[in-house]
Amino acid sequence: MKPIIHKWQFISFALIITLLFSTQQTNAGAWPLKKGKGYYKIDFRYLTGDKIYNNDGNKIPVPKFTDITVGIFGSYGFTNNLTGFINVAPFHSASVDTSSFINGSETSLKGFGDLSIGLKYGLFKIEKTIISGKIIAGIPTAKSSPDGGLWIGRNDFNQSVGIEAGTSFYPVPIYLTGGITFNNRSKGFSDEFRYMIESGYKFSSKFLLIVRFHGQISLKNGDSSVKGGFGVFSNNQQYIAYNAELNYKFTGNIGIKAYYESGTKGKNIISAPVINAGIFFTY
């Protein structure tokens, strides 16, 4: 049994912290958008690999696994302190290629991916540093099967609460932001704790370099018989990941972005680099 009372006490406390404080507006990293401003992007994510981290954290060979996602993200500043956002995958595919085996073939699943919606709220500002809170609801709109096979979604309604902090080193064009998030899961999946550190350096009005370090830790408080989907949607999943992203603006409002991500210390997750590229629009 999961410790429901203790878990919901924790969630209630995090929500109180998130909504309690008054706020001031600022502009970068963890900060909400200004009122009436928006940020939108569409991107393409690709990963493929033939090794997976098992439950003990050891790499073992598997048939070639490929995951492709087209994602759309949008955010809008309702006030100077409150930003709403939505993230959806209109196309997601996962496949396993066993053609190198006797009588092998490729098995694939394609369709609409998961949907998540959330709010970010600026809590308070101290000089060039801001603290913000966020809440996110993950809605299982993607296909999944109960037998541990290929999934293109998480198959459970989950809720996340988090705290972020960001600081600017202006006039030096550098920012630093970090945060922690607790993700409450359902349907027997273990809850998760996530952390992130990000730094950005603006070379010019057109080029921005971002480096990130992030990870996930399973609380292992779910149903051990729930395995989840193969590759990227497994139960009790853990990892440490790092990436470098380059943004280039064609104009003041339109640009492209791309990043390469790798990782280590995984459990119940495919061992494969992630390539992401997309276009974004701001106003």
Provide the pLDDT confidence category of residue 247 given band limits of 50, 70 and 90: very high
Task: Give the model's pLDDT for residue 148.
Answer: 57
Provide the pLDDT confidence category of residue 26 given band limits of 50, 70 and 90: very low
Identify which of 48, 14, 59, 35 has the alpha carbon closest to the alpha carbon of residue 193.
14
Domain 4-282: state its class: mainly beta
Task: Give the model's pLDDT for residue 25.
Answer: 34
Task: Give the model's pLDDT for residue 11.
Answer: 44
Please tell me the pTM assigned to this model.
Answer: 0.85
Q: CA angle, corner 164, sides to 220 and 32, nearest 5?
A: 130
- Per-domain residue ranges for the chain? 4-282
Burial of 34 (0-12, 13-18, 19+ CB in 10 A): middle
User: Would the pLDDT of 27 be above 70?
Assistant: no
pLDDT tens for residues 60-90? Answer: 999 999 999 999 999 999 999 999 999 999 9
Task: Give the model's pLDDT for residue 17.
Answer: 38
Tokens standing for 38?
Answer: 């928006």
Tokens standing for 151?
Answer: 């999934």
Q: How many helices (H) and strands (E) does the chain have?
A: 1, 14
Q: Which phi-psi region, left, alpha or beta, contains residue 142 (left: φ > 0; alpha: ψ -120 to 50)?
A: beta
Please give the Cα distance from 29 to 125 (Å, whole number): 13
**Number of other CB atoms surrounding residue 279 within 10 Å:** 14
Please give the Cα distance from 195 to 215 (Å, whole number): 6
Tokens standing for 195?
Answer: 């952390």
Please give the Cα distance from 150 to 229 (Å, whole number): 6
Task: State the sign of the Cα–Cα–Cα–Cα dihedral 238, 278, 204, 28.
Answer: negative
User: Would the pLDDT of 246 be above 50?
Assistant: yes
Q: Widest CA span of the chain, in angstroms?
A: 65
What's the mean pLDDT when you consider all of the chain? Answer: 88
**Number of other CB atoms surrounding residue 262 within 10 Å:** 13
- Whether residue 273 is preceded by a cis peptide bond, meaning omega within 30 degrees of 0, is no
Contact (CB, 8 A) for 144 and 155: yes
Please give the Cα distance from 74 to 266 (Å, whole number): 30
Tokens standing for 201?
Answer: 């350096």
Burial of 129 (0-12, 13-18, 19+ CB in 10 A): middle
Single-letter amino acid, residue 113? G
